[in-house]
Structure 1
C-alpha cells in the first residue's frame, strides 16, 4: 500500500485506518496520557476509545463497559479500521487490554500492543504463561527502549517487538538568566517507588550546605499528604516547595525556571518527564532502571546512580549545584539528545510501522 506522506500529520487515509485504545488522555494525569495527547496532534482523524479514567472503582467499571460498547460498535460499523493500537501497562491495565486484544483478532484486525508500564517485568514474570499467550496474539509489540526489547525477546520469547520512542511536545523554551540558587525540579507521582523520600532525606541531612544555594520544587499527585507531613519534621519547608499538580503553562514555567531535573526512581519504563526536561535544556539526575540509561548518559547530560543510593544522590546533586557551567553544558547535551523524541521523528516511525502492517498479508 502506498500512501502519500506529509510533514505535519499522519496522512488522512492512513490515520483513518487506525483505532487507539488507552487511558482518557483529556482528563488523566501521567506519562501515558501525555503520549496519547501528542498522538492526537499528529493523527487526523484520531479514532480513540478510552478504556479507563482516573477515579474510583465504580467509575472505572462504568468506563470499561462504555469502552466495550464503543469498541464493538467500531468493529462492526467501521470496516475501514484495519489496525488497533492499544496503549497498556501491567496489572489491571493488562487484564483490561487483553480482552480487547483477543476481540481485535476475532475481528481480524492487526494489533499493536504498546507497553508503557515500568513494573511490567515483575508482572510478566509472575504471570508468564498468560502474558506469553497474549503477546503471541499481537502483530507488533512496541516497547520504549532497547533494554526492554531485550527483555521481551529473551525472557518472554516475543519476536515481533520493536522500539518506538515516546513523543513529547515541542518545548516552549526560554533561555535567560535564572535565580542565584540552583532550582532542583521533580515532576511525577509522589511515592516511595519514585525515590521522593530518599531525596527529601538527602536534602534534610545536608540542609546547612544547601540553604541559600538550593531550592527544591516538586509537583505531582499520589501520596501528597504523607510527603508534606514528611517535610515538616525534616525541617526543610524553607527549601522544599510543593507546586501541586501542574500541566500546560504552569509546567512550562517550572521547566523554564529549573536548573536540574531529578527523578531517583526504583522502577521505570522511559519517563516522559525526563524527556520533557531534556527538551528544556536541563541536566538530569536519575537511576539506572528501565530505559533511563539509554537517554541519560552519565557525565554527559546528567548523572546516573543506583536506586536508593543516597550517598550517590548527594554527590550528583553537589556536582551540579556548585557548577553552573557544567549544568549549562549538560543541558545543551540533553536538548540535542532528545531530538528523536519530537513529534516529527516519532511520526515517521509510526508511519513506517503502519504501512508495513497494512502491506503484510
Structure 2
C-alpha cells in the first residue's frame, strides 16, 4: 500500500506539534505500507532516512499565510500524478484541496489537529478562509481522525459517522546524564520552570512570564521557554518587553538530547496555552514524571491532572499563586499512566483506516 502525506512541514527535527506527531507516527507504521511524505524544503535540516518513507522535498514560499497553501497545492498535484492508495492530510488548512483530490478519485484521510481559526495570530479574513477550509476538509474527506474528542463532538452526525478519535502518543523518555545544554543556557538542575512550544500568541507565554514575575520566584528560580520564532516577530518583541532580568531564558528550538536534558532536570512544567488540539508537550512532560500546571482548556482536560493543576487561561494572578504553591512542595517524581498513548498502537489504528479505504 502507498500513502501520500502532506500538511506537515516534515520531519525529523522540525518544530511543531504536527511535525512531532508525524515523526512518531509514520516510522511506527507496519512495514507493508510505504509513504511519500511531502516536506517543505526550506525547513529540512536532517538527512535521516527511514525504510518505509520516501521524502518528497518541495521548494516553498516563506511568505506568511501562503506557505502552507502553496505547499499543499503542489503536494496535491504530486498525489494526483502518483496515484497513491490513500492521501493523508494533516490539519484543516492544507485540506482545502481535498475536493480536487476527490475529483481525481483519491481516497482522503484528514487528521484534525486543531481549530486553527481560533488562534489570535490570524486576521478576520484569514480566519474566514480557515473556516472555509474546515468545511471542505470535513465534507470531502473519506475518514476524519480527531486528536481531540471534544472537538469531534462539535460537528453534525454526518461528519461524526465517518470520524474517530485517536489521541496523540508519547515516546519513552530519554535517559541522559548530560547537562551541557543546561549549562549553555545558565540553568541548574531543579532550579527552573519549563515550558515548551513555538513562540506564537496561542501558547500564552506572555501569561506565563507575567505569572512568573508576579510569583516572586525569579529571585531563586529561572523560567526556561523552549521554542523557536518563525513569523511572529512582534509577539517575541512583546515577550522581550516583559522580561526585566536574566531569570527568563529563551533557549530557542530544541529537540532530541537537548530537549531531554531540559525535561529531565526541570522543577515544574507549565502549559499556559489559550488554544491546543492535543498538546504533545504535555505528554512529554508527563513521561519525565514532572509536576504540571496547565491552562483550563478542553485539550488539557483530556488528561485528568487533578483539580489543583488547572488555572483559567490568561489568568496570570491565579497561575502565580499555583506556581508558588507547587514550588514550595517537596519535589517528588509523578508516575502517570500513559499506556493509552503508545505510538505503535496508535499507528496500527491509523493503518487500519488506510486498509479499510483501500478495500
TM class by shorter chain equals: 0.7 to 0.9
**Residue in structure 2 matched with residue 5 of structure 1 by the alignment:** none
1:191 aligns with 2:200: yes
2:133 and 2:8 map into 1 onto residues whose CA distance is 22
1:22 aligns with 2:7: yes
**Residue in structure 1 matched with residue 342 of structure 2 by the alignment:** 342
1:216 aligns with 2:205: no
Contact (CA 8 Å) 1:23, 1:52: kept in 2 or not?
no
1:42 aligns with 2:28: yes
Shift of 1:294: 0.7
1:65 and 1:146 map into 2 onto residues whose CA distance is 29
**Residue in structure 2 matched with residue 112 of structure 1 by the alignment:** 109
RMSD: 3.2
1:88 and 1:157 map into 2 onto residues whose CA distance is 15
Assess, with a 3 A threshold, how the Cα gap between structure 1 residues 128 and 31 changes in structure 2: closer, same or farther. Answer: closer
CA offset digits 1:302-352 (Å, max 9, x no partner): 711111112221232123201134x42xx212xx2x332232221232233
**TM-score (structure 1 length as normaliser):** 0.77
1:153 and 1:117 map into 2 onto residues whose CA distance is 17
Aligned partner (choices 314, 317, 327) of residue 308 of structure 1: 314
Shift of 1:169: 3.0
Assess, with a 3 A threshold, how the Cα gap between structure 1 residues 206 and 323 changes in structure 2: closer, same or farther. Answer: same
Aligned partner (choices 234, 241, 262) of residue 249 of structure 2: 241
CA offset digits 1:246-272 (Å, max 9, x no partner): 112111111111122111111111111
**Residue in structure 2 matched with residue 281 of structure 1 by the alignment:** 289
1:65 and 1:157 map into 2 onto residues whose CA distance is 24
CA offset digits 1:6-48 (Å, max 9, x no partner): xxxxxxxxxx332212222137421111111112312343222
Shift of 1:51: 6.5
Assess, with a 3 A threshold, how the Cα gap between structure 1 residues 342 and 203 changes in structure 2: closer, same or farther. Answer: same
2:188 and 2:77 map into 1 onto residues whose CA distance is 53
Assess, with a 3 A threshold, how the Cα gap between structure 1 residues 228 and 134 changes in structure 2: closer, same or farther. Answer: closer
Contact (CA 8 Å) 2:192, 2:268: kept in 1 or not?
yes
Structure 2 counterparts to residues 1-361 of structure 1, below 5 A: 16-26=1-11, 28-43=14-29, 44=31, 45-50=34-39, 56-57=62-63, 60=67, 63-64=71-72, 66-75=74-83, 81-89=84-92, 94=93, 96-99=94-97, 101-120=98-117, 131-153=134-156, 158-173=160-175, 181-207=190-216, 210-212=218-220, 214-222=221-229, 223-231=235-243, 235-237=244-246, 239-299=247-307, 303-325=309-331, 327-328=332-333, 331-333=334-336, 336=337, 338-359=338-359
SS at match of 2:352: helix
Q: How many residue pairs get matched?
A: 318
SS at match of 2:282: helix
**Residue in structure 2 matched with residue 12 of structure 1 by the alignment:** none
Contact (CA 8 Å) 1:23, 1:53: kept in 2 or not?
no
CA offset digits 1:257-292 (Å, max 9, x no partner): 112211111111111111111111112211122321
2:278 and 2:139 map into 1 onto residues whose CA distance is 24
SS at match of 1:216: strand
Contact (CA 8 Å) 1:219, 1:242: kept in 2 or not?
yes
1:130 and 1:97 map into 2 onto residues whose CA distance is 7
1:180 and 1:129 map into 2 onto residues whose CA distance is 47
Contact (CA 8 Å) 2:87, 2:106: kept in 1 or not?
yes
2:35 and 2:25 map into 1 onto residues whose CA distance is 8
Contact (CA 8 Å) 2:193, 2:267: kept in 1 or not?
yes
**Whose helix fraction is larger, Structure 1's or Structure 2's?**
1
2:328 and 2:156 map into 1 onto residues whose CA distance is 43
Query: Please, which runs of 5 or more residues in structure 1 have no aligned partner?
Result: 1-15, 76-80
**TM-score (structure 2 length as normaliser):** 0.77
